[in-house]
């Protein structure tokens, strides 16, 4: 090869290398960009999943606090108050019942607002449909509760029946909706709900037992079936005149 061609050949090689560098760099850049984009999307998706799971958990906790705790306690208190003779304690139990029921309605309303704001509400599953019905029944029952007529007034019996019917229906719907909510949580997150179902079932069983047992407690005492109490025979029964209700109220 002539001596004058060697510098030209080297110069051509340099030009070729310089010409190819941008193409090599541009071909490697998308790979890096795609990798970064995929990592970013994965992090965003993970954060969204954590946020949705937290919102679902908070929604379920509000529903349980309303229908799984406050409402049953309020029902038990008003049940106990029916046998209360002391006017002061009767009024106290009534106002506690009122506060618990209002708090329950507010919590279930907060749960409903969170559901409307954060979740897809197409009402194509049992949990959402029951929740909508429960929301309406609870508000209607509370409004009717504030329209309570005085004792002895015409329509008091009908008011009591409607108030009791709506309250009982709301309590049953609430318990069922908690179970359907646990099932929906399992479908959404694929997490086990066996422990929560067992604990909630035990709680419901305890509330039902207390509701039935307190109604028979006085009867059991009179029958003498409690340990340490002798059975009462007919010859030992002594009839006493009933106390004056006014005296009882004063003694309280």
State pLDDT tens for residues 121-142.
Answer: 677 788 888 988 999 999 999 9
Residues 6+ apart with CB under 8 A from 94: 78, 81
Instruction: Map tokens 């071909």 to a residue.
Output: 27
* Position with higher pLDDT, 249 vs 138: 138
pTM (2 decimals)? 0.68
Question: What are 198-219's pLDDT values in tens digits?
Answer: 999 999 999 999 988 887 776 6
Return all residues near 217 (Cβ < 8 A) that are at least 6 apart. Answer: none
Q: Where are the domains of the chain?
A: 53-214
CATH node for 53-214: 1.20.120.1770
Q: Give the burial string for 133-163 (b: 16+ CB within 10 Å, else e).
A: ebbebbeebbeebeeeeeeeeeeeeeeeeeb
174 in Cβ contact with 73 (< 8 Å) = no
Residues 200, 64: Cα–Cα separation, whole Å: 9
Q: Is the pLDDT reported for residue 12 higher than 60?
A: no
């Amino acid at each position: 090869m002539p001596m004058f061609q060697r510098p030209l050949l080297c110069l051509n090689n340099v030009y070729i290398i310089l010409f190819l560098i941008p193409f090599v760099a541009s071909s490697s850049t998308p790979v890096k960009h795609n990798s970064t984009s995929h990592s970013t999307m994965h992090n965003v998706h993970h954060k969204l999943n954590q946020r949705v799971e937290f919102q679902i958990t908070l929604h379920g906790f509000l529903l349980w606090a309303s229908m799984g705790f406050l409402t049953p306690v309020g029902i038990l208190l008003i049940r106990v108050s029916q046998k209360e003779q002391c006017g002061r304690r009767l009024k106290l139990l009534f106002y506690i019942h009122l506060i618990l029921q209002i708090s329950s309605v507010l919590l279930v309303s907060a749960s409903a607002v969170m559901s409307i704001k954060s979740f897809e509400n197409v009402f194509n599953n049992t949990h959402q449909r029951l929740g909508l019905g429960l929301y309406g029944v609870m508000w209607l029952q509370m409004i009717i509760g504030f329209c309570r007529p005085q004792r002895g007034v015409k329509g008091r019996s009908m008011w009591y029946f409607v108030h009791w019917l709506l309250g009982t229906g709301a309590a049953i719907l609430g318990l069922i909706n908690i179970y359907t909510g646990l099932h929906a949580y399992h479908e959404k997150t694929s997490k086990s709900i066996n422990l929560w179902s067992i604990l909630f079932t035990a709680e419901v069983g305890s509330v039902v037992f207390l509701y039935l047992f307190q109604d028979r407690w006085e009867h059991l005492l009179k029958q003498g079936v409690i340990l340490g109490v002798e059975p009462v025979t007919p010859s030992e029964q002594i009839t006493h005149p009933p106390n004056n209700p006014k005296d009882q109220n004063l003694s309280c």
